[in-house]
């Protein structure tokens, strides 16, 4: 069993629903952005936001420009956050058990300020707990100006967390991210269903 466990956020912890997000952008008159989501775009606007190159206000301005819309910032942020469906309680309970068993728990996510703030304020607040309760360190692409699978984001995470690759397990839903971590000597678990890591009866038998 590894001393340190690094979790991805989307699909590993929080559920994602692209159809709900697409519908929300269409409802507020931003069909162009609905198409971005539908096409799983990972460049341009979404990439700049994920890397922290543009702010929330600048994101909203660009959404209005691309959609030829006068939609408010609040409505745009609401629609964008419709992608996030929540974190099942069983996942947070298992993380708490892992911490109690002596593991150091970290979060490493390609995300943007809007999604992180929404998750932080809504999906980790169970029984008075917050994200800071569950994680010994939180590493976010928009704050680091780096993103997976760039090896630099893993190296920076290990350095800032003060942990060693050989003592670390990384859980992510994208194979290319797992491969990048493995190249640095980190053990990985490729999440395929959203529940592999928390419903694997053999994975946490030493807890």
Which range of residues forms the domain containing residue 95?
Answer: 4-15+86-199
CATH number at residue 66: 1.10.150.240
Say whether both 131 and 62 belong to one domain. Answer: no
What distances in angstroms separate CA 101 from CA 3, 4, 47, 98, 207, one per listed residue?
10, 11, 37, 5, 6
- 10-60 confidence digits (pLDDT tens): 999 999 999 999 999 999 999 999 999 998 887 889 999 999 999 999 999
Q: What is the CA radius of gyration of the chain?
A: 17
Regarding whether 112 and 52 lie in a shared domain, the answer is no
The structural domain count of the chain equals: 2
111-165, pLDDT tens digit by residue?
Answer: 999 999 999 999 998 788 899 999 999 999 999 999 999 999 999 999 999 999 9
* 16 conformational bin, left if phi > 0, alpha if psi -120 to 50, beta if neither: beta
The reply to whether 206 falls in a domain is no
Q: Is residue 207 part of a domain?
A: no
Q: What is the pTM of this model?
A: 0.95
């Amino acid at each position: 069993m590894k001393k340190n466990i690094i979790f991805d956020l989307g699909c590993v912890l929080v559920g994602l629903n692209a159809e709900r997000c697409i519908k929300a952008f269409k409802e507020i008159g931003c069909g162009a952005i609905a198409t971005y989501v539908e096409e799983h775009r990972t460049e341009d606007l979404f990439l700049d936001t994920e890397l922290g190159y543009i702010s929330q206000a600048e994101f909203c301005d660009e959404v209005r420009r691309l959609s030829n819309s006068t939609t408010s910032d609040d409505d745009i942020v609401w629609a964008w956050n419709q992608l996030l469906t929540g974190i099942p309680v069983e996942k947070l309970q298992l993380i708490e058990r892992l911490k109690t068993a002596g593991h150091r728990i970290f979060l490493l996510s390609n995300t943007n300020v809007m999604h992180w703030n929404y998750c932080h304020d809504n999906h980790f607040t169970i029984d008075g707990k917050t994200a800071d309760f569950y994680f010994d360190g939180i590493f976010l692409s928009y704050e680091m100006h780096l993103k997976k699978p760039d090896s630099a984001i893993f190296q920076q995470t290990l350095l800032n967390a003060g942990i060693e690759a050989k003592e670390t397990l990384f859980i992510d839903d994208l194979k290319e991210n797992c491969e990048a971590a493995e190249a640095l000597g980190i053990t990985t678990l490729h999440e395929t269903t959203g529940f592999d890591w928390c419903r694997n009866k053999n994975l946490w038998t030493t807890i």
